[in-house]
Each structure stands twice: as structure tokens, then as C-alpha cells.
Structure 1
Amino acid sequence: MIERKSGIYDGRNKSSAYKDLVWTVATSSDTSAGIEEQTRLTLATIEANLNELSSDKTRIVSAQVYIANMLDKPLMDSVWQAWLGVHPQHWPQRACLGVQLEGNVLIEVTVTAVRK
């Protein structure tokens, strides 16, 4: 059975799980902030969503990061790397794409992780 967790997102769930896999998505709760703070807030939501479905950031196997301005990628990367807090050889596979996001949203992150 697919487990879904509804959230603040229009037309989608914030998280889903099936057997040993978890999928979740997040944007910043404060779109007036800059890219670094929006990244921190987005990753905090990702972490909470993963915990809610019996996973955590150390179990992420794949991530997609969508940012509104690719010039912000180095700033986002520094927050991402600090958040992961582990040696780079243990980081998940990740893609980063520059896209047009709605309103003042500067970042959106989706991840796939394994349950504990």
C-alpha cells in the first residue's frame, strides 16, 4: 500500500512511501528570504518529511534541486553540503537544474530515500 502524507502543497502530497522507498518534495516556508535561507528552510522541511516516514537525510539515494538562478548554485551548494554533514563519498546522487519557479520561490528540492 502506498502511504501518502498531505501538506501545504496545492494538488500534490508532500511525501509518499511504498515499501522501502520514500519520496518527498519541499520549498521554503519563507519566500522573502535569500537563496541560502530558503535552502536551509527547504532542507529542514525535507528532513522533517523523511523522519515522518521513517527515513532521514543519510538515507537519501537521489535528489533533484531546482533553483531559479543558476548563479546562486555555489551558495546553495554550501548550505547543501553543510546539511549533509558527511564525507562527499557518502553524498547522494544529485541533479541541479535552473528553472522558472513560481513567485519568489528560489529553490525546490525532491528526494528519494530508503526507509530505516
Structure 2
Amino acid sequence: MITRIPGTTATRSRVIVHNGIVTTVTTSPDKTEDMYVQAKGALAAIEKNLADAGSSKAKILTAICYCADMSRKAELNKAWDEWVDTSNVPMRAVLGVSLEGKDLIEIICTAVA
């Protein structure tokens, strides 16, 4: 069975759970030009999405961070290092991409329920 937690539009889920695996994707609700603030907002949204699915950041297996400005990756790293569960550090990749609107960061996580 696949459980979907709806997103902000009818064509997107913000969380999907299948066979004990949780997948979620989000951007920051705060569209400031500050990469650190957007990273903190996106990570907080990931944490909420995981909780809504019965999981937590301690159960993250992998994270992919899409970053609109790789020259500012240190700001993302700072937010990540402050947020991550250091007793259960997941694999993480950061990719430079073009994002829509004012988004500077988008994060996809896979976790266990």
C-alpha cells in the first residue's frame, strides 16, 4: 500500500510512504535571498514531513540537496551541520541546479518509517 500526504497542489505529494520507506521533498517556505535561512527552513519542513509520516531525521538514509548557487554551499553546510542527527548521519549529495522562482535550495530525503 502507498500512503500519500498531499502537498500544496493537487498534482504533488509532499510525502510518500511505501513498505516502510518514506520519501519527501521540500523547499523553504521563506523565500529570502539568504541561503542559510532557506536551508534552515527547508530542513525544518523535512523534519515536519518526516514526523507526519511517522519518521524522524534520525531515520534518514539519504538526502539530496539541490542548490541554486554552489558558491554559497558553505551556508547550506552550516545549516545542515546544526540540524543533522550526528548519531545517525545520512548520506548526502549536493547538486548545483537551476531552481524556479526565488528558491535557493530544494531537498529530497529518503528515510525509514
Higher mean displacement: 28-37 or 102-111 = 28-37
Aligned partners of 2:33, 2:52: CA distance in 1, in Å? 26
Q: Please tell me the root mean square deviation across aligned C-alpha atoms, in Å.
A: 1.3
Which residue type is aligned with residue 86 of structure 1? T
Aligned partners of 2:73, 2:35: CA distance in 1, in Å? 9
TM-score (norm 2): 0.94
Name the CA shift for 1:9/1:64 in 2 (closer, same or farther; >3 Å). Answer: farther
Shift of residue 103, structure 1, vs aligned partner: 1.1
Shift of residue 109, structure 1, vs aligned partner: 0.1
1:40-79 matches, cutoff 5 A:
40-79=40-79
Say which structure is richer in strand.
Answer: 2
1:16-55 matches, cutoff 5 A:
16-55=16-55
Shift of residue 16, structure 1, vs aligned partner: 0.2
Shift of residue 11, structure 1, vs aligned partner: 2.9
Matched, 1:83 2:83: yes
Figure out how many residues of one structure are paired with residues of the other and give that number: 113
SS of structure 2 residue aligned to 1:112: strand
1:89-104 matches, cutoff 5 A:
90-104=88-102
SS of structure 2 residue aligned to 1:113: strand
Aligned partners of 2:74, 2:9: CA distance in 1, in Å? 27
Unpaired runs of at least 5, structure 1: none
Higher mean displacement: 29-38 or 99-108 = 29-38
Which residue type is aligned with residue 16 of structure 2? S
